[in-house]
Structure 1
Amino acid sequence: MEQTQLLLLGTEGCHLCEVAFKVLANIGLAEHIVLIDIADDEKMVEQFGERIPVLQDSLTKECLNWPFDEQQVIEWLDN
């Protein structure tokens, strides 16, 4: 069975993406996050371009949109 990954969708040079990564690092998730640069995928830019940073579960495709804080991430993960 495939294991879920936490994806942080963003793009290089995105200040909010850097802040979102720090939020995730603050709760010990930095090493579990896969950074996805949406700039290389036209469909992803269309879908997420105005929403980044977005935290996404790789299996369920459920998303937590910015802005989020540590507590919101913990609650999202618990659901």
Structure 2
Amino acid sequence: MDTAVIWIPADIDPIEPAVAKCLDYSRRRGYRLEGIVRGPWESVSWMVTNREVDVVIIPVPACLPPAAMPRIEVADN
């Protein structure tokens, strides 16, 4: 089972719809959710680099960081 973290950029407000979308996506994919990170990309990228999580879930494609890493998935239908 892959582990995942949800990343919600600090400029998304309100966060509730984005979090709900990502939680539903994680549940449907069967990921073991490690948590929700809100803040700059650097606050979550180290988790991927250090192999603490396999997947970063973001709410919409506009949230993709400039240098996206593998296994970033968009919870957008």
> Normalized against structure 2, the TM-score is what?
0.39
**Looking at CA atoms only, which structure, 1 or 2, has the larger radius of gyration?**
1
Name the structure where helix makes up a greater proportion of residues.
Answer: 1
Name the structure where strand makes up a greater proportion of residues.
Answer: 2
